[in-house]
Structure 1
Amino acid sequence: MTLSRQGGFRPIGQILAHDVLPALQGARRLPLRVSCLGRISPDDAEAPREQCFSLGEVTCAEAAMRLAAQLVSKGDYPGAVALSDFQPRLAVIEDRAHGLVLAGAIRAGVILWQPPVASDAEARRILTEASGLRGQAFAAEGRWDPNVARTLRDRASLLEARLVDPFWREEAAALLSLPQAA
């Protein structure tokens, strides 16, 4: 008589490897931090400077996306209340280890989430392209062309928003493929 493994039973090693350990690893990366990166343009002759404001912490990526979308649509940036000249640029979701979960450009109160890279090779290509843009921005600064430099740095930041931590790539891609509520 032979035993068939076609029933609903799996070996304990398989359960540990496929179910328990990934859940524990994910729990170590929580909570997720939601932030907003933007520019503050002082009234004096200073150049605009980058500022990051924390929007909150949550325990799952979907809740982080909802929190970011809700606050951005209202223009509610805790900590930036006293700064009427704050111009938001990017919404960022990071895990406890500062791994990028998801990021997107803020345009007219809407977050345009950037699709995560699909592979390490694509990540290397994006890093090379972003580095080239930052080099061009540095050269533009040397030519006293701050507007071109700022535009190039913004393009590099938007590319780098796709550099999602490998742990989160699959989940981030799945979240972006879901239909969003209006």
Structure 2
Amino acid sequence: MRLVTYRVGARHGYGVVVPDGDDDAIVELGDRIPGAPTLRNLLDGRLDDVRPFLDEPPVLHLDDVELLPPIPDPARILCIGLNYAAHREETGRTPTDHPTVFVRFASSLVGHRRPIVRPAASDRLDWEGELAVVIGRGGRHIPEQQALEHVAGYSCFNDGSVRDFQSHTTQFTPGKNFDASGAFGPWLVTADEVPDPTA
């Protein structure tokens, strides 16, 4: 399934994207699933609550909404630095068992097809295409072979980086959190549709 969060005028909602002829459209869900006013409420084991609505007629076309980040209010955004071998080699660093971890704040993200903003304090805004892994079920001390059981889905992520602020210290966080400097979306693809995220 492809799940989106959107805005139409002043109204926010979420839904499931379904085919509609040659286009894609949205079946609205926000007020139809008890106890789930946002998509985030479905991540921990409730994604199957969406399935009964898959055959309903869509009411919104994708072109008629502003797509927001699929999860606009995440509990946390943890990013792993230098997680692609080619990028790590560009920087001259070697693989490690202890990767760089940094955070992004929700205010640093915009939805699909929204402009990202180069901050006035810098002319070194760069981009990095990333895979967002959205955790559904929490846990601790999870064995590696069970880790993917905790993933709700995946999305595209533009990890906008203000390079000069990123390199002022050993912490990446300052260069990763200017308002509207990165993008998330267009949708969350549920994990059942991505059997091997490393392929």
User: What is the TM-score when the length of structure 1 is the normalising length?
Assistant: 0.28
Greater strand content: 2
**Please, what TM-score do these two structures have when normalized by structure 2?**
0.26
Tell me which structure has the larger Cα radius of gyration.
1
Higher relative contact order (CA 8 A, sep 6+): 2
